[in-house]
Amino acid sequence: MLNEIIKLADHLDMIGEKEEASLLDEILPYIKNIEVDMAESEDPKEGHGVNYMLESQLTSISKKTSTIKSLIESGAEVDDWMETYIAQADLMIDNIYDKMMIQYSDEESEGYKSCGCKGSCECDG
């Protein structure tokens, strides 16, 4: 996967899309780290709980939304379908967030905080 992204960045550079090529160059270290992490683990489920994929998926979503937000703030054009997808993603995340906040506020009496931490937490949630 890394080689394909490098080729894409080179191609974008060649056709004059310098900004897009630079963005790909910026994410390459993250991709390299992910590939190294995946190669180090022989059994991807070993030592992980039921929701072991959630952390990496949420991190991926966070990084991508930050990049998209930066691009939009710097004047990048957004197609109508992109706005629709973002609105749908926002709605889906809202639904998950609302459900989890209700779930954890019900469990607060059992020691959970509304931020999801149990007992004393460092996030001051």
Q: Is 122 exposed, middle or buried (0-12, 13-18, 19+ CB in 10 A)?
A: exposed
Residue 82 in tokens: 């992109």
Residue 51 lies in a domain: no
Q: What is the pLDDT of residue 108?
A: 55
Q: Is residue 10 part of a domain?
A: yes
pLDDT of residue 79: 93
Q: What is the pLDDT of residue 122?
A: 62
Q: State the pLDDT at residue 89.
A: 92
pLDDT by 10-residue block (mean), the chain, 125 residues: 75 83 77 59 55 84 91 92 92 91 70 58 59
- Hunting for tokens 């998926």 — which residue is that? 57
Residue 2 is assigned to a structural domain of this protein = yes
pLDDT of amino acid 2? 66
With beta carbons less than 8 A apart as the criterion, state whether 118 and 111 touch: yes
Residue 28 lies in a domain: yes
Residue 116 included in any domain: no
Q: Name the domain count of the chain.
A: 1
| Structural domain harbouring 11 | 1-42
